[in-house]
Amino acid sequence: MRELFASLTDGDGALPAGAALSGAFVTDEPHTRLGAMRRGAKGVIVGIAARPGRAHVIDAHELERRLLEMGFVEGAHVEILHEGPIGRDPIAVKLDDTRIALRRDDANAIIIAAGKGAQAE
């Protein structure tokens, strides 16, 4: 599944609507990446798809584990609370009942089903 996400998230911007994702948290809502969301946007995490490369030394697998440990887990609700003063980066995210700050580049590893439908429990 990770490979599938990786292939879906190679480009920038939102994923195609109704992208074929398997798993418990798939909805009909369009999928996007947390790093592409603006202040006030809400959604539910449907997958973690850390991509190798980019600016990191830690590998994609390590980034995935760190995100999981901070609570970025499939099914968790997110809302963008704040954007950093320069380039709207980093972002402060309400993640269930915690607030986590992270950079958009890392947030791009988190796949979100955005919109109203995703709000339903």
CB under 8 A: which stretch of 3-11, 14-22, 29-37, 102-110 binds another protein?
A: 102-110
- The least CB distance from residue 120 to another protein, in Å, is 16
Pairwise CA distance, residues 17 & 82, whole Å: 26
CB under 8 A: which stretch of 3-11, 25-33, 100-108, 110-118 binds another protein?
A: 100-108
**35: contact with another protein by CB under 8 A:** no
Residues 46-65 touching another protein, rule: CB under 8 A, are: 48, 55-58, 61, 63-65
Pairwise CA distance, residues 88 & 10, whole Å: 22
Among 3, 22, 69, 116, binds another protein (CB under 8 A): 69
Residue 60 backbone dihedrals phi, psi, to 5 degrees: -60, -35
| Alpha carbon 58 to chain centroid, angstroms | 18
Structure token digits, residue 36: 């592409």
Pairwise CA distance, residues 43 & 35, whole Å: 12
Residue number with CB closer to another protein (17 or 58): 58
Structure token digits, residue 8: 């879906």
Q: Which residues form the interface with another protein (CB under 8 A)? A: 48, 55-58, 61, 63-71, 73-75, 81-90, 92, 96-103, 106
